Amino acid sequence: MDTLTALQKFREHVESYVPVNDMEWQALASHLEVSALKKKKYFAEPGKICNHIGLVVKGAVRYFLVKDGEEITGYFSFENELLSSYKSFLTRQPGENYIQALEDCHIVTLSYNAMQQLYDDDLIGKKMERFSRLIAEHYLICYEDRVSAFITQTPEERYNKLLETGGDVLQRIPQHYIANFLGITPVSLSRIRRRIMKISA
């Protein structure tokens, strides 16, 4: 994907939250970088401060932690979704997550320092504040749903919900990562899938 197309996708993402005119877009775009992230490479790693927020314009990434030698998958981001080790990015402390490319990715990134400059910019400051507020609110709602799911739903209910809301992108995630994301073993997931197929048959 060429740089202009990638930047245009970032603009569309911003404008899905806040309209920006050409002059405002120039001020913002001057801080953006387009980069490639090859499959298996990391966007964020534990113990390092995450200095960028990014938009996936092509590909997909997986968020995971390692505990007692085991990978625990927390989240995925696909095309037109943001990615960041958000807590590390915001608090300026080393993160705990890996963010790894599931496929070859193209990402448009904005650094923490550029973000702060943009907030204080006379021209685009207020719009950037609103953009970031709406993003934080959007992810807050996602997290609220995810916490609710953990405390109220069985793994089977969580899996059904994922099938309902996950759409086509689910095909792109290996089954053992999906099991991991649901907090169950691959064997349990196979059992759930067989039960569902029987019911719908």
What does the binding site for its own copies look like in residue numbers (CB under 8 A)? 65, 67, 72, 74, 86-87, 90-91, 96, 119, 125-126, 129-130, 132-133, 136-137, 139-141, 143-148, 150-152, 183
Find the shortest distance in angstroms from Cβ 96 to its own copies: 7
CB nearer to its own copies: pick between 9 and 181 = 181
Find the shortest distance in angstroms from Cβ 180 to its own copies: 9
Find the shortest distance in angstroms from Cβ 8 to its own copies: 25
Angle at 95 between CA 128 and CA 81, to 5 degrees: 45
* Helix residue ranges, H only, the chain: 3-15, 22-29, 86-91, 112-119, 125-152, 155-166, 175-182, 186-200
CB nearer to its own copies: pick between 74 and 166 = 74
> Is the Cα dihedral 139, 140, 144, 150 positive or negative?
positive
Find the shortest distance in angstroms from Cβ 76 to its own copies: 14
CB nearer to its own copies: pick between 15 and 137 = 137
Report the alpha-carbon distance of residue 170 to residue 162 in Å, rounded: 8
CB nearer to its own copies: pick between 35 and 155 = 155
> Would you call 21 exposed, middle or buried from its count of C-beta atoms within 10 A (0-12, 13-18, 19+)?
exposed
Those residues whose C-beta lies under 8 Å from the C-beta of residue 31, and which sit 6 or more positions away, are 110, 111, 114, 117, 118
Find the shortest distance in angstroms from Cβ 106 to its own copies: 26
Cα atoms in the Cβ-side hemisphere of radius 13 Å centred on 201? 6
CB nearer to its own copies: pick between 17 and 35 = 17
